[in-house]
A and B are shown apart, each in its own frame.
Chain A
Amino acid sequence: MRQFRLFFRKEMLEMGRSYKWLWVPLVFLMLGVMQPIVTRFMPEILKSAGNMPKGMTITMEPPSGAEVMAQTLSQYNSVGLLILVLSLMTMISGERQSGVSQMIFSKPVSFVSYTAAKWMSMLSLITVSFVLGYAGAWYYTAQMIGPVDAAAAVKAGLFYLLWMWFAGSLTLLVSSLLNPAAGIAFVSLGAALLLSLMYGMIPEYLAWSPGALPQLAITFLQREGGDTGKAGALAISILCMAVFFAGAVSMVKYKKSKI
């Protein structure tokens, strides 16, 4: 437990000194706030673009608050996920690559504590960033577009947060397996996108897949039904995270250094 605290403190310090604690939450906030603003000013933007053929009028149904929130979540699923993976990819591989792990692992340290500290700090960064961004999106939507149902928004947010946790866990697992940063980013991002894409194509077969989480979150906001398998997807995702963690611990133990 003491070692976990030491490792966790080090991770936090590192994230602070590399400005991760500043730029990741701020970028998430920007992403969240952008969508309502862009939606609100879209008609003006299109008008001032000015190269519309004469006589063409834009008829746009003003979207509801819930719809804008759903669009924000889709934003997070592309740019947000990318930022997340890029900021986490070297968390485990970096120390192995640089060689600092040689000194750490020749000391009587627990591999579980070491990996768990990385996991916890990853979850904290994701949670703070996403909650900040999502709250920002909610506030701006309420101010500029219209009210959002609170219960739906909270439920959607929680499901989406779990999806981000899942993606973060996946990234750390890949980081424990591979060395090159580009490879880690490619594999983690690819796998996460593939999962959510596959659910989009054959939802009936993958109702319990973690890839269902972002879609489930969006359905909460849109109230369109078809949201079966919530509990299953939830359970499977948490199980997957546990398996990823166990896998990463044994990889950290097995690949102590790059020699």
Chain B
Amino acid sequence: MSTDIPWNLIAPLIVIQLILAVVGLISLYKAASTRGPKWLWVIIILCGNLLGSVAYFVIGRKDAS
């Protein structure tokens, strides 16, 4: 590597991703039902990085029922 990576600037990004994933999983655990099977959303949140969590919040959560 020709340049040293400024970890102090990259670290917050990882933290944000983690927060989103953890909150997504908590909300998934608490939700009575979701659009599509729950196990699928677990995989999407864990593997889909930022997009996975966002997809869950936008599509997976049922706000009204």
Contacts and interface: CB of A to CB of B under 8 A. Distances in A.
Chains A and B directly touch (beta carbon < 8 Å): yes
Interface of A: 18-20, 22-23, 26-27, 29-30, 33-34, 37, 41, 44, 83, 86-87, 90, 94-95, 97-98, 100, 140, 143-144
A234 B56 CA distance: 36
B32 interface: no
A27 B13 contact: no
Contacts of A18: 61, 63
Given A30-B13, A37-B10, A98 B61 contact: no
A98 B1 contact: no
B63 to A, nearest CB: 6
B64 A100 contact: yes
Given A26-B19, A87-B58, A37 B9 contact: yes
B13 A23 contact: no
A144 B23 contact: no
B63 A94 contact: yes
On chain B, which size bracket covers the interface?
Answer: 20 to 34
**Interface of chain A, main secondary structure:** helix
A29 B19 CA distance: 13
Contacts of A98: 64-65
A97 B13 contact: no
A41 B10 CA distance: 12
Contacts of A20: 57
B20 interface: yes
Contact of B16 (A26, A86, A87, A140): A26
Contact of A144 (B6, B16, B27, B58): B6
A49 to B, nearest CB: 14
B64 A26 contact: no
A234 B13 CA distance: 34
B54 interface: yes
A219 B19 CA distance: 35
A10 to B, nearest CB: 13
B42 interface: no
Interface string B1-38: 11100100110110011011001100100000000000
Contact of B9 (A44, A95, A140): A140
A37 B27 CA distance: 30
Nearest to A136: B12
B13 A94 contact: no
B64 A27 contact: no
A34 B14 CA distance: 12
Contacts of A100: 64
A257 to B, nearest CB: 14
Contacts of A26: 16, 19-20
A143 B1 CA distance: 20
A44 B3 contact: yes
A19 B64 contact: no
